[in-house]
Structure 1
Amino acid sequence: MKSSYTYFTRLLILLLLATTARTAFAQNGKFINLKTGKFITGDQPEWKSPNFDDTQWKAAQIGEVWQTQGFPDYHGYAWYRIKVVIPSSLKKEAYWRDSLRIHLAHVNDADETFLNGKLIGKTGAFPTDKGGYQSKWPAVRNYHVAANSDIIKWDKENVIVVRVYDGGGSGGIFMGQPFIDMLEKFDGIRFNQQAIKFLTGKKGVRKLQLQNSFNTTITGVFKYSIIDDVTGKAIENKQFQVKLAPLSDKLFSVVFPHREGIKLQYSFTEKVSGKKAAFAEIAPYILTPQEKLTPVINGPALVGVHPGSPVIIRIPVSGARPLTYKVSNLPDGLTLDKTTGIITGQLTKAGDYKLQIQVSNQYGNNKGTFTIKAGDRIALTPPMGWNSWNCWGLNVSEEKVKSSANAMIDKRLTDYGWSYINVDDGWQAPARATDGEILPNEKFPDMKALGDELHNEGLRFGIYSSPGAKTCGGYLGSLGHEVQDMATYFKWGVDYLKYDLCSYTDNTAGDTTLFAQQKPYQLMGNELKKYPRDIIYSICQYGIGDVWKWGRQMNGNLWRTTEDITDTWESLYSIGFSQVNNAKYAGPGGWNDPDMLILGMVGWGENLHQTGLTPYEQYTHISLWSLLSAPLLIGCDMSKLDDFTLNLLKNREVIAIDQDELGKQAERVFDNGKFQVWVKPLADGGTGVGIFNLNSKFATYTFNPADLKIKNISSMRDVWNQQAISYNGKSIMFNIPPHGVRLIKLK
């Protein structure tokens, strides 16, 4: 056992993924899918024994979260037992014959994996471990055992046992199909994508690093092809003879047409075995027009405040700097910084204040109206900002938060209304002060100073907690300290509170009443209302008990309607397109929340990688969330925002649909399994329409506005391109990419 485990450790080090690496965990030659097994909640050490009698355990699908298999509200320890015959032909027909690979996809959040009773790998840490719980769910579990190890029972039944600890959110083995195969030499090849550069002449260039992550020389042929994704025909094919020394790499440049519908295919064929590593990507393409040099006032065009609360408004204006701002009708109590466009102060009286804004630079000027509604409601439009979880996970720090805030300003996202900087889980100290006050850990030396710094830039400061004793990440929650914690958040200048269910389920075991779900959120919501500060209240409890029906009564401003989202089409589809029965509960002051955006570089704390969504799917993501009037919270590494992702986040007309003052959520009006059409009424009398292609190939949809009972259409507009569509009053045909969208506005 000792030699096998040492071998595993050495090999795992070699297999660590480089940042942005695209790794296809495809099966090699013969393989065995691990589709079903036995499952139980709880934690008993004897369950790892290969001889344990598991006949009373529940049958489970391997590769699906346990929440969909009869355990919707369970978090904590659980075990899987998977029995499989491993044929010796698997080894005999392999070329390298070096090690057996057990691929478990993702495991939420920490695991120990045993083969026939022997530990073969561990990822993350359990609550009982020294140093406490540490989530590692983003890490793909690829465990390896030397092929000559006596752990493996060739041609006999083997028992794979996985001990799991889920700290919150989805639980179990999921996001991929687990399998067993033999590791091959070409598995050491990594395709590392560098950011796309868009050139003049409608061309783009992808820099691709071919990397050898094994400590052995790999020789073979690298090929790339540029494919027209509409016709399937090759535009260009090239190949190169490559010899990669141990742990070395080689850089290639792929120049392609910059337009929708270009696929890039890459492959590396290892010389001796003839086996191939390959993957394909849809080339990113930009639809959002280039920003104008003249000032343009963007949305949102209104904000709600409570009288007596501090006002912080950064007027969203794009255009060449420097800009000069002028505001007429500015009410008493508010002041304007004419060089930054930041309005601060306090309003003592309720009312609607319509501000006339004029912005100028060396290229021209622009005028617009901005309304401040001082009253009993905030979040009159869905909040827009950034949250730390999807990129930094529990590794969040003050340095990373400040870097993200700076990027939001430097990359001009603030010009389009992005304003919240939210610190998610992982900021809390391991123990409270002697008087019970919550404290930040060493990564956040001064929370109030951080909030002040954000406010000085016209940004807003968000924080995270749980109504339970522990957060999803195992940090201190607010149970029993709600009054004290709210006072602390007020002292720090917090503008947004995400309150995540997590361990509170320990207090509701067996209690399925609606009151049990509402109680902790009502308690914190009541505390929040006591303070003279506009604090957005985000209820995060995954849609349990139809939270959209009562979240507003808890003083909530947004409420999660589903489990956590991940950067796959399957997750995007199941979450985004399931928002069909809750539209009437969304509106100014309270919004359905289908979770954060999964664009850009994500990774949940480590191994940051480019989102798994294709460019087509990313356009669908933003379009659907905007139609749904969803909160828009960026979840990526802001310091690595590329031109394509910025094009998704800085389209003023797309954002205007999300931030529309009427606050109506789109409803699905057509679904035939291949296409869906969603329709959203807009404040100016127009209608936002999303036509979504659910097919895996380009497909044509014939759109007839009369089917929507919309008459007397004066204009039809392509929202992403910000261009008019020629319309003769009859039907119009759209050729839509796979999993893609056509977002249009009718008037």
Structure 2
Amino acid sequence: MSEKHVAKYPPMGWNSWDCYGASVCEEELLGNAKYMAENLKEFGWEYVVCDIQWSEPTADSCWYHKFAELNMDEYSRLIPAENRFPSSKGGQGFKPIADQIHDMGLKFGIHIMRGIPRQAVHRNTKILGTDKTARDIAHPASICVWNTDMYGVDASQEGAQEYYDSIFELYAQWGVDYVKVDDLARVDVGPDAPGAGFSEITLIKNAIEKCGRPMVLSLSPGPARVDQKDFLLENANMWRMTDDFWDKWELLYGMFERAEAWQGIGCKDHWPDCDMLPLGHIGVRTTPDRHDDRMTNFTQDEQKLLMTLWCIFRSPLMFGGELRDNDPFTLSLLTNKKLLEMHRDGRKARQISRKKDIVTWMSKTKEGKKYLAVFNLNDEVKETKLKFENYGFDKDEKVKCTEIWSGREGSLENGDKIALNPHGCMCFEIEA
């Protein structure tokens, strides 16, 4: 990537998708940014990300409008819809919003679809930096099956790199710090798969390196393939392990298998991504009639379990709820210092055991502190016995610890039994 350690730790922030779908507006972006600056910044939360369709004036939910008219400049580059982002008038783009977010001590991100707008191809508009046009570089057979906005870009064509260079030059001028590129992570992206995904990721990586501004590159949606990890580690800062993750227990249950498959791969600047945190007030405008407006369907135990897995695994943390509507419990999930220290400083996270839906993970810091998380994926209360031989402890040892969620301090011994609520967990910080 263009700067060493652009994502030294897994990025943490807020993304507009889970509450506003494709329809977020300027006031909502800035309102959530202000909340983050006042309540979460000190805990490491820093990115404010505007998700999909920000160039569409008519966007109103998660439901896409087929072949919608998008705001676009003369060089085939999408620009913000002025009715939703009034400060973008006069060709200013997202710069006024980014400036305000930067003034709060935060960072600004946007979502884009891979490719070039269909309307640019149909109108055969210009591309900055070349005499080639949108039609010259389009790959009309390379389309997204769930969104009609774009054609793929044919990386073999002259002008293809110049197009991507031009859009990232624009994002650098706006002050963008993070770009989530969609319709990429679950296609074949390895060096032996020269399809649209592979070629466009390469073009995007090159464009970021040229644009003069450090940017986190996040690839969506998943599931990305573990056998393509080397390519992903070389070319992206984040990549999705899963399709869109919502507040359904079966999806959270399935994340344990995905986390085990990707364990040991995340490292500085390169993070397998469990997807967003659908917590707090979500679904505000995810459907046109707003019938999905709700507080998360996850129980409090499930929310703690989710946060514990994401943090011990060291997934990026992108909160999806309307921050300004956080209740005290939701805020406590995002401000638990010991949990976030585990997320920031834990290393070599791995699944130790899984038996009858009792799952154990461990990680450790450079200084020797250890974290032990025990999860109950069963629908009933379960009791489990701690086995020190599995954790690298001496059988006769007594270890001092703090249970991260309750804050209780004490000690653990081999053979201790702990009772776990249905879909619940305990997570212990164990002194070095």
Q: Which amino acid aligns with 1:530?
A: K
- Structure 1, gaps ≥5 residues long: 1-303, 307-375
Asked if residue 394 in structure 1 is aligned to residue 77 in structure 2, the reply is no
1:697 — aligned with what? 380
Q: How does 1:340-739 map to 2 (within 5 A)?
A: 376-410=4-38, 412-429=39-56, 430-442=70-82, 443-445=84-86, 446=88, 447-469=94-116, 473-475=147-149, 479=153, 480=160, 481-501=163-183, 514-516=193-195, 517-546=197-226, 547-554=228-235, 556-603=236-283, 605=286, 606=290, 607-660=292-345, 663-664=347-348, 666-711=349-394, 714-727=399-412, 729-739=413-423
Amino acid aligned to 2:202: Q
Give the residue type in structure 2 aligned to 1:485.
I
C-alpha RMSD of the superposition:
2.5
Deviating 4+ runs (over 6 angstroms): 502-505
Output the CA distance in 2 between the equivalents of 1:503 and 1:741: 31
Matching residue's letter, 2:418: F
Q: Distance in 1 between matches of 2:186 and 2:81?
A: 22
How far apart in 2 are the matches of 1:589 and 1:469? Answer: 27
1:423–1:391 Cα change, 3 Å? same
What does residue range 107-146 of structure 1 map to in structure 2 within 5 Å? none
- Give CA deviations for 1:70-121 in whole Å, capped at 9, x if unaligned: xxxxxxxxxxxxxxxxxxxxxxxxxxxxxxxxxxxxxxxxxxxxxxxxxxxx
In the alignment, the residues of structure 2 paired with residue 725 and residue 474 of structure 1 have an alpha-carbon distance, to the nearest angstrom, of 57
Distance (Å, rounded) in 2 between the aligned partners of 1:561 and 1:548 = 11
Q: 1:553 Cα deviation (Å)?
A: 1.1
Quick check: 1:743 aligned with 2:371?
no
Mark the CA change 1:709 to 1:405 in structure 2 (over 3 Å): closer, same or farther: same
Change in CA separation of 1:541 and 1:528 when aligned onto 2, cut-off 3 Å? same
Q: TM-score, normalised by structure 1?
A: 0.47
Amino acid paired to 1:686: K
Higher helix share: 2
Residue 397 of structure 1 and its aligned partner are, at CA, apart by: 1.0
**Aligned equivalents of 2:185, 2:318: Cα separation in 1:** 24
For residue 492 of structure 1, what is the amino acid of its counterpart?
A: W
Structure 1 residue 707: deviation in Å? 2.4
CA contact (8 A) 1:576 1:594 kept: no
Cα distance, 1:686 vs structure 2: 1.6
Structure 2 distance, partners of 1:305, 1:520, is: 17
Which residue pairs with 2:132 in the alignment?
Answer: none
Shift of 1:674: 2.4
Corresponding position of 1:301: none
Label 1:396 to 1:576 Cα distance change in 2 as closer, same or farther (>3 A): farther
Residue 514 of structure 1: SS of its match in structure 2?
Answer: coil
How far is the alpha carbon of 1:431 from its aligned partner? 4.2
Aligned amino acid, residue 736 of structure 1: L
Equivalent-residue separation in structure 1 for 2:406 and 2:2 (angstroms): 34
User: Residue 617 of structure 1: SS of its match in structure 2?
Assistant: helix
Is the Cα–Cα contact under 8 Å of residues 736 and 742 in structure 1 kept in the other structure? yes
Deviation of 1:583 after TM superposition, in Å, equals 2.0
Q: Equivalents in 1 of 2:75, 2:54: separation in Å? A: 19
Tell me: CA distance 1:726–1:435, structure 2 relative to 1, closer, same or farther (3 Å). Answer: closer
Displacement of 1:734 after TM fit? 1.0
What does the per-residue CA deviation read over 1:637-662, in whole Å, with 9 as the maximum and x for residues that have no partner? 112111110011110000111111x6
* 1:685 shift after superposition: 0.5
Shift, 1:534, TM fit: 2.0
How many residues are aligned here? 366
Match of 1:110 in 2: none
Secondary structure of 1:538's aligned partner:
strand
Counterpart of 1:455, as a letter, is H
Determine which structure has greater relative contact order: mean sequence separation of CA pairs < 8 Å that are 6+ residues apart, divided by chain length. Answer: 2
Distance 2:214 2:299 in 1: 37
Conservation of the 8 A alpha-carbon contact between 1:404 and 1:637: yes
- Quote the offset at 1:531 in angstroms: 2.8
TM, length-normalised to structure 2? 0.79
CA distance in 2, matches of 1:695, 1:688: 22
**TM-superposed deviation, 1:615:** 0.8
Name the CA shift for 1:558/1:544 in 2 (closer, same or farther; >3 Å).
Answer: closer
**Aligned with 1:395: secondary structure?**
coil
The alpha carbon displacement at 1:529 in A equals 1.2
Residue ranges of structure 2 left out of the alignment (5+ in a row):
57-69, 89-93, 118-143, 154-159
Q: 1:385 to 1:504 in 2, by over 3 A?
A: closer
Tell me the alpha carbon deviations over residues 14-59 of structure 1, each in whole angstroms, 9 at most, x when there is no partner.
Answer: xxxxxxxxxxxxxxxxxxxxxxxxxxxxxxxxxxxxxxxxxxxxxx
Query: Deviation at 1:610?
Result: 1.1
- Give 3-state SS (helix, strand or coil) of 1:584's partner: coil
- Taking only the aligned residue pairs, the percentage that are identical comes to 26
Change in CA separation of 1:663 and 1:591 when aligned onto 2, cut-off 3 Å: farther
Shift of 1:527: 0.8
Paired with 1:543 and 1:503, the residues of 2 have a C-alpha distance of 7
Q: Is the 8 A contact 2:363 2:370 kept in 1?
A: yes
Find the aligned partners of 2:98 and 2:256 in 1 and give their Cα distance. 32
CA distance in 2, matches of 1:736, 1:704: 16
Q: 1:474 to 1:608 in 2, by over 3 A?
A: farther
